[in-house]
Amino acid sequence: MSLYADGLKALTISDLAAMKRSGEKISCLTAYDASFSALLDRAGIDVLLIGDSLGMVIQGHSSTLPVTVGDMVYHSRNVAMARKRAFVITDLPFASYATPEQALANAASLMAVGGAQMVKLEGAKIDVIGFLVEQGIPVCGHLGLLPQSVNRLGGYKVQGREEQQARQIVADAEKIEQAGAGLLVLECVPAQLAAEISQRLSIPTIGIGAGVDCDGQVLVLYDMLNISTGKRPRFSKDFMADASSIEEAVRHYHQAVKSAQFPASEHSY
């Protein structure tokens, strides 16, 4: 655990695991630049995710597929530079982890140049996850709605509504934990399924559209600030509605996650 001049301790993966054990919810938001990184860190947000959602909210694409490793390194570095306490996770973008060797080369760039403390990848790529962990790279899994597979899935839809698919997601979650992942994002799955997975795993789960029983919550920053283009997904909430500044909105989100007031049933499936 690194110690800064002001005595503020930077969070590590062990701290996040301890939060799950003690029942303290983990707050996470996406971040893409230094100014928001510093603001979110100041507001107490535990985890900053440099998400490939930046392809949509920063670059204006209609999916995350055009995002490159170079884009992720650039935004990750901007965020990592400015934060003091928050844990930094960066997405491996589309088609950047097809083999263990390719995943290692790209994860190494995200960490060594981008300043990421952990990399996140979509799907049950057990061989890739195991290899990265073996090389000393912390990995966050991601199950449920996989935006990099939008063309295969046929849209941004809730996953795991049918029993057979739900059982597959549970099995994949257990394999991801066994492969050595330290965290797992669950996106757009029924709240009851996410609750079951969160209970079965010893690693923390971070939900987005996955109900209140996940060990933590994440939202795309610009959705909760209500400045995204297009319609906000049902699972997000406009925290600017009752706030007089961006920092106040972020603090309200942090408190709402910590107290399990967010997400409510209207944000869940």
Ligand X SMILES: Nc1nc(=O)c2c([nH]1)NC[C@@H]1CN(c3ccc(C(=O)N[C@@H](CCC(=O)O)C(=O)O)cc3)CN21
Ligand Y SMILES: CC(C)C(=O)C(=O)O
Chain residues in the site for ligand Y (CB under 6 A):
30, 49, 51-53, 91, 185, 187, 208, 218, 220
**Between 36 and 131, CB nearer to ligand X:** 36
Least separation in angstroms between residue 90's CB and Mg ion is 10
Structure token digits, residue 199:
């209970």
Q: Which residue is nearest to ligand Y (CB)?
A: 51
**Between 130 and 160, CB nearer to ligand X:** 160
Report the candidate in 231, 233, 232, 186 with the shortest Cα–Cα distance to residue 211.
Answer: 186
Least separation in angstroms between residue 265's CB and ligand X is 14
> Which pairing describes strands 139-144 and 205-208: parallel, antiparallel, or unpaired?
unpaired
Residues 6+ apart with CB under 8 A from 187: 142, 143, 144, 145, 146, 147, 159, 207, 208, 209, 210
Q: H helices then E strands: how many in the chain?
A: 11, 8
In the 8-state DSSP scheme, what is residue 3? B
In the 8-state DSSP scheme, what is residue 9? B
Binding site for ligand X (CB under 6 A): 53, 56-57, 64, 145, 147, 156-158, 188, 220, 223, 228, 233-235
Among all chains, which residue has been given the structure tokens 């083999």? 99
CA-only gyration radius of the chain, Å: 17
Is 231 labelled a binding residue? no
CA 257 vs. chain centroid, Å, equals 14
H-helix or E-strand spanning residue 141: strand 139-144
Least separation in angstroms between residue 219's CB and ligand Y is 7
**Between 109 and 159, CB nearer to ligand X:** 159
**Between 46 and 252, CB nearer to Mg ion:** 46
Q: How far apart are CA 228 and CA 222, in angstroms?
A: 5
Is 163 labelled a binding residue? no
Least separation in angstroms between residue 122's CB and ligand Y is 8
Is 84 labelled a binding residue? no
Which among ligand X, Mg ion, ligand Y, none contacts residue 86 (Cβ within 5 to 8 A by kind)?
none
Q: How far apart are CA 99 and CA 207, in angstroms?
A: 27
Least separation in angstroms between residue 56's CB and ligand X is 4
Judged by DSSP in three states, 253 sits in helix
Determine which one of 101, 134, 174, 187 is catalytic: 187
Q: Assess 91 for contact with Mg ion (CB under 5 A).
A: yes
Q: Assess 52 for contact with Mg ion (CB under 5 A).
A: yes
Which among Mg ion, ligand X, ligand Y, none contacts residue 225 (Cβ within 5 to 8 A by kind)?
none
Is 53 labelled a binding residue? yes
Strands, E assignment, the chain: 26-30, 47-50, 87-91, 118-120, 139-144, 183-187, 205-208, 216-219
Residue 196 annotated among the catalytic residues of the structure: no
DSSP string, 187-228: ES--HHHHHHHHHH-SS-EEEESS-TTSSEEEE-HHHHTT--
**Between 8 and 226, CB nearer to ligand Y:** 226
Residue ranges of the binding site for Mg(2+):
52, 91, 122
Residue ranges of the binding site for 3-methyl-2-oxobutanoate:
52-53, 91, 120
Residue ranges of the binding site:
52-53, 91, 120, 122
**Active site residue ranges:** 187
Where does this chain bind Mg ion (CB under 5 A)?
A: 51-52, 91
